[in-house]
């Protein structure tokens, strides 16, 4: 029975991982295709930033409702509906006929995808024992960086061969198939609550969840780190092509190297946090956020493309360790009855950063006549904010499940 339970858990984890890879492929297809889309629609850098940010506007708005819907209706239903919804708008992206239609389609695409983070995290909390959840969560979330490896390798050749419109049609059809897989395997019988460990926290309101200090501190940390990573993802393709002189195919292949390193760092970081770094998460986040800042500075001032990719890779590695810390901690200190809402709040902070990054950087690049210096300074400032949020975490009080579990009616959260 134990072996069957483990196999079931690992299958569910693999399917959720696949869903995350698909979502990342859908997102990065736009970041890769924006070079061609900008030519077709005659977009300036600031307008390119608005197009890239429109997805994150919808994505951010759905984080908290997505968490609430997941806690209310269950992760299986929300996961399936989310993938179907965003796959539909992936297909529609390839049919955009104007700038405004593109912005609206990408906004609605973001709404569909925005429910997936909380729903997939809830599924992890439901089927895995408490001690295994941080590791399972970070394995699942490493799909973000792995998607950054897969997307350029798949999307860049397709982009060159069949054009950006057909690229979105192909990815959208693939998404419908993945939605069917998840609907088939994430049935209620396969998502039975793990009862190996008793957790006595009661269901809480959204207001109670955000009153837990660690929730909003993690949200601010993720705001800073999400700004960094999505700023780089959004503007490194135009930067490498325009400022560093690479062709589109070379750019796509080279940017997969940092993404692979980031995926490995997230998985290793999750395992270390579960074992050797347990209780030291605050220090891990501060040190690695600082190293991200150092790499950002060295990246922009690198004398060659080789050094740009080297420092970009290191930036992804240190970011991956902070990322693993942010998304493993909720499973350690917050009850599974409230994890959907908590993840929604945390990811809301991150997606506000992701929404602002492409737009703010595009505006700064345009008003400073094509210079990327102010844009990189913006990323560094946001990384400093992440360090500040980590620094005010009270390790003794906030990094304990007993101190953060919610009991309705209690004045002490």
CATH of the domain at 383: 1.20.1250.20
Cα distances from 17 to residues 23, 175, 200, 399, in angstroms, run 10, 13, 29, 27
The predicted pLDDT at position 406 comes to 44
**Residue 410 is assigned to a structural domain of this protein:** no
The string of pLDDT tens digits covering residues 199-249 is 444 555 566 666 777 888 999 999 999 999 989 988 888 888 877 877 767
**Residue 91 is assigned to a structural domain of this protein:** yes
**Residue 196 is assigned to a structural domain of this protein:** no
Whole-number mean pLDDT of the chain?
A: 81
Say if residue 407's pLDDT is above 50.
no
Hey, how many other C-beta atoms are within 10 angstroms of the C-beta on 370? 10
**Residue 119 is assigned to a structural domain of this protein:** yes
Asked if 4 contacts 10 with a C-beta cutoff of 8 angstroms, the reply is: no
**Residue 191 is assigned to a structural domain of this protein:** no
Give 105's contacts (C-beta < 8 A, 6+ positions apart): 89, 92, 93, 96
Q: What CA–CA distance (Å, rounded) separates 291 from 285?
A: 10
The predicted pLDDT at position 243 comes to 78
Please give the model's pTM, rounded to 2 decimal places: 0.72
- The structural domain count of the chain equals 1
The predicted pLDDT at position 409 comes to 36
**Residue 380 is assigned to a structural domain of this protein:** yes
**Residue 370 is assigned to a structural domain of this protein:** yes
**Residue 411 is assigned to a structural domain of this protein:** no
- What's the domain range around 382? 2-186+203-404
The string of pLDDT tens digits covering residues 326-338 is 888 887 777 767 7
Q: If you average pLDDT over each of 37-51, 93-107, 334-348, which comes out highest?
A: 93-107
The predicted pLDDT at position 395 comes to 65
The string of pLDDT tens digits covering residues 251-289 is 777 877 888 888 888 888 877 877 777 778 889 999 999
The string of pLDDT tens digits covering residues 167-187 is 889 988 988 888 888 888 776
């Amino acid at each position: 029975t134990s072996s069957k339970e483990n196999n079931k858990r690992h299958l569910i984890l693999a399917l959720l991982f696949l869903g995350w890879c698909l979502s990342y492929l859908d997102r990065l297809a736009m970041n890769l295709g924006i070079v061609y889309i900008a030519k077709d629609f005659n977009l300036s850098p600031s307008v390119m930033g608005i197009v890239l940010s429109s997805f994150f506007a919808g994505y951010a708005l759905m984080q908290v409702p997505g968490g609430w819907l997941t806690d209310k209706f269950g992760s299986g239903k929300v996961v399936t509906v989310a993938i179907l919804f965003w796959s539909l708008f992936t297909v529609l992206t390839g049919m955009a006929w104007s700038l405004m239609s593109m912005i609206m389609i990408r906004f609605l695409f973001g709404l569909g995808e925005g429910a997936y983070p909380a729903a997939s995290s809830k599924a992890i909390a439901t089927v895995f024992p408490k001690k295994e959840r941080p590791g399972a969560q970070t394995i699942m979330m490493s799909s973000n960086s792995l998607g950054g490896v897969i997307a350029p390798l798949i999307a860049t050749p397709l982009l060159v061969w069949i054009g950006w419109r057909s690229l979105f049609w192909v990815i959208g059809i693939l998404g419908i198939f993945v939605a069917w897989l998840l609907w088939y395997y994430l049935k209620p019988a396969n998502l039975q609550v793990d009862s190996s460990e008793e957790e006595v926290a009661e269901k809480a309101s959204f207001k109670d969840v955000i009153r837990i200090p660690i929730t909003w501190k993690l949200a601010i940390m993720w705001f800073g780190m999400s700004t960094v990573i999505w700023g780089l993802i959004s503007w490194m393709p135009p930067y490498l092509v325009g400022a560093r002189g690479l062709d589109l195919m070379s750019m796509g292949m080279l940017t997969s190297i940092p993404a692979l390193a980031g995926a490995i760092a997230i998985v290793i970081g999750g395992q270390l946090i579960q074992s050797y770094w347990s209780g030291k998460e605050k220090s891990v986040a501060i040190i690695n956020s600082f190293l991200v800042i150092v790499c950002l500075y060295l990246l922009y001032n690198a004398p060659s493309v080789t050094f740009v990719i080297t420092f970009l890779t290191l930036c992804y590695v240190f970011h991956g360790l902070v990322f693993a810390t942010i998304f493993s901690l909720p499973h350690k200190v917050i009850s599974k009855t409230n994890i959907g809402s908590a993840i929604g709040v945390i990811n809301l902070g991150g997606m506000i950063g992701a929404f602002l990054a492409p737009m703010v950087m595009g505006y700064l690049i345009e008003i400073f006549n094509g210079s990327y210096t102010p844009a990189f300074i913006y990323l560094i400032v946001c990384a400093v904010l992440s360090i500040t949020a980590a620094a005010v975490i009270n390790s003794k009080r906030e990094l304990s499940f007993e101190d953060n579990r919610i009991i309705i009616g209690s004045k002490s959260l």
